[in-house]
Chains A and B, each alone.
Chain A
């Protein structure tokens, strides 16, 4: 099974100690790891077979993301293999197919540059794409561009008059400057500034003024995969915690013998199970009925955000003092969970979508 194979690989190639080493070395990227993932078909998991992908679908992408979450594997999987690949697939012209092939091979990575304020809100985009001659001139800046410090290309959402347009630009286009930020989860995120960046019609992904046709499915796919990753983060933190409850002795017995902790651990397990259902449902819906996946995706992201927060907080608490130390891995889970909670819409953003879909 995909999950078992992925787990075997990740335990070996990208355990938490791998992320820790990258952090200690001041790195956010391991090109060799991404290449190895690409060789296994992960980079091309949403790329059609004729473009060199494995085309296994969103449910499978969620399975991979969950496994990555368990070990906090650091890679541009969601930005590149899920979000950018889904966006490019909506277009599927010759140029897009060539780009998909480069994603599948692991040669090109992407980042999604949408956010401008502290909260996710694509519709509020201000970065300007002023029409000039046959092309556009981009001015403004994007923040919290996840994987944007290391990415080869950027999907940039810009305001073109009243409407929004999505641009697919090389990250080294003249006028683009990137500032990698030091993030709590030790992963890559950047602020990207655009000063008179010239873009042509060729650089537009999809149609001018119709960014959402391409972006909406891409964002939904990314949200589902991120929810799946968060479920994995929760599972990873939970697994460590249950093991610790069995090992750690106080008052002459394993602390897992105390009902006060047993019931909290059991409650957490229940939350994880319920969230897993929401994620399975989102993956399936994206594969089977992508036009109508909005509710399923937001449900998954909301639930995963909630569950992972609980899992990491209980994780630290039930470990006592050692849970607070940097030498111990739990803190890495807590910090990744916080980033995952914010990226692509926080709990309130998604719960609100659920509520609206349910008529209130």
Chain B
């Protein structure tokens, strides 16, 4: 769908007016870090009234998931309108009203592979921030070699029965539901015996144990399934073809991770941030490194936009999402290294707040597929190199 310039500017004017009226002042600080994100979910504690109000107002307009169809809780925006939406949000430095694995990962996968009933059932609660999802992919023996998942899922006629363990499940202890990869056929070749299933975390036999990260916080867990029963219809796509869903979802996850890297939350030029932290004269070496990082950041952001346009025009991002993920996350690590260097000894204190973010970025090039795995995907699928 493509609208005229006139329609687009009408949309922009209305949106601007709506944002002006409805975005609480406290939500206009552009922050999107661990302490300010609104993740939603059944047990969500809003950090402020403003956060609650902002979410509720956006929900009424479908702005938590602006590109999703209206019937599933979105605003049905076209690609051009989406660009306007993000630009207008950025203009007033608005926080995202809601972020979640449901929005980034499960939503796109359901939109593509789900039945109409599944979409109607699962998507609107995600859009409204009522149900929080987590991702059960990795296992102790299945990290980069994800297709090696062993969690056993048996067909018991009128239900499924799951036994096994997941690891590194981000926010499993806070999530209401999990989307997981399980083995439904142990005799098939490893990619052909996996299914993509949806399990309520309150189901008997599901338990989690938090794991502490180097950044001091504990956003991920081990997740255990002991004789967990769940209904037959909670499979997305075809049984034993879950790998297709998993891969599709991963391309979205990778784009999301790289996008987060690109704008780095604050959306401010690196140099300005560095200048803030500096006490004395500009260090020419630091400035030089910041210049390089800024050049690369702007170019990576343009690349994200280019690929999104391509996807919108019907082309598939496909394997190139590995490039976006690799470049975006490696860059983000560089940026945070620079911020730490700019902060000097001030940044070494936990209370300063920079260190946790810096340490957290180290996971960017691991989660969702490591940098090395991304490079291997590219060398084989894009460059056609042997092996």
Chain A: residues with CB nearer than 8 A to chain B? 242, 245-246, 253-254, 256-257, 259, 262-263, 265-267, 269-270, 273-278, 280-281, 299, 302-303, 306, 348, 351-352, 354-355, 358-360
Contacts and interface: CB of A to CB of B under 8 A. Distances in A.
B303 A273 contact: yes
B254 to A, nearest CB: 13
Contact of A359 (B272, B296, B379): B272
A273 B270 CA distance: 22
B372 interface: yes
Contact of A273 (B275, B320, B379): B320
B295 A302 contact: yes
B274 A360 contact: yes
A360 B385 contact: no
Contacts of B326: 267, 270
B315 to A, nearest CB: 14
Interface in B286-302: 287-288, 290-292, 294-296, 298-300, 302
Interface of B: 269-272, 274-275, 287-288, 290-292, 294-296, 298-300, 302-303, 305-306, 320, 323, 326-327, 372, 374-376, 378-380, 382-387
A256 B387 CA distance: 8
A358 B292 CA distance: 12
Contact of B379 (A263, A277, A303): A263
A257 B379 CA distance: 10
B271 A262 contact: no
A360 B295 contact: no
B292 A277 contact: no
Contacts of A354: 291, 294-295, 298
A352 B271 CA distance: 11
Given A280-B306, A354-B294, A269 B382 contact: yes
A242 B383 contact: yes
Contacts of B382: 266, 269
Nearest to B381: A266
Residue among B290, B292, B320 facing the most chain A CB atoms (10 A cut-off): B292
Nearest to A267: B375
A360 B288 CA distance: 11
B379 A355 contact: no
A73 B279 CA distance: 51
A86 B290 CA distance: 33
Given A245-B385, A275-B299, A355-B287, 20 more contacts: A246-B384, A246-B385, A254-B386, A256-B385, A262-B375, A262-B376, A263-B375, A266-B376, A266-B382, A269-B323, A274-B296, A274-B302, A277-B302, A280-B306, A299-B299, A351-B295, A354-B295, A355-B294, A360-B274, A360-B275
Contact of B299 (A242, A256, A269, A303): A303
B263 to A, nearest CB: 14
A352 B288 CA distance: 8
B385 A299 contact: no
B287 A360 contact: yes
B386 A358 contact: no
Q: Which 9 A-B pairs have the closest CB atoms?
A: A360-B271, A262-B379, A358-B269, A266-B378, A277-B302, A257-B387, A277-B303, A256-B385, A263-B375
Contact of B295 (A254, A277, A303): A303
Given A269-B378, A270-B327, A360-B290, A242 B298 contact: no
A262 B291 contact: no
Contacts of A265: 379, 383, 385
B342 to A, nearest CB: 11
A351 to B, nearest CB: 4
Contacts of B327: 270, 274
Given A266-B375, A277-B299, A355 B386 contact: no
Contacts of A259: 376, 387
A273 B323 contact: yes
Contacts of B274: 360
Contact of B290 (A267, A269, A274, A355): A355
Contacts of A257: 385-387
Interface centre among B287, B290, B294, B326 (most CB of A within 10 A): B294
A242 B295 contact: no
A358 B272 contact: yes
A269 B379 CA distance: 9
B386 A256 contact: yes
A296 B376 CA distance: 32
Contacts of B323: 269-270, 273
Nearest to B297: A358
B372 A263 contact: yes
Contacts of A270: 323, 326-327, 378
**Best-surrounded residue of A256, A266, A275, A351 (most CB of chain B within 10 A):** A266
A351 B383 CA distance: 30
A269 B383 contact: yes
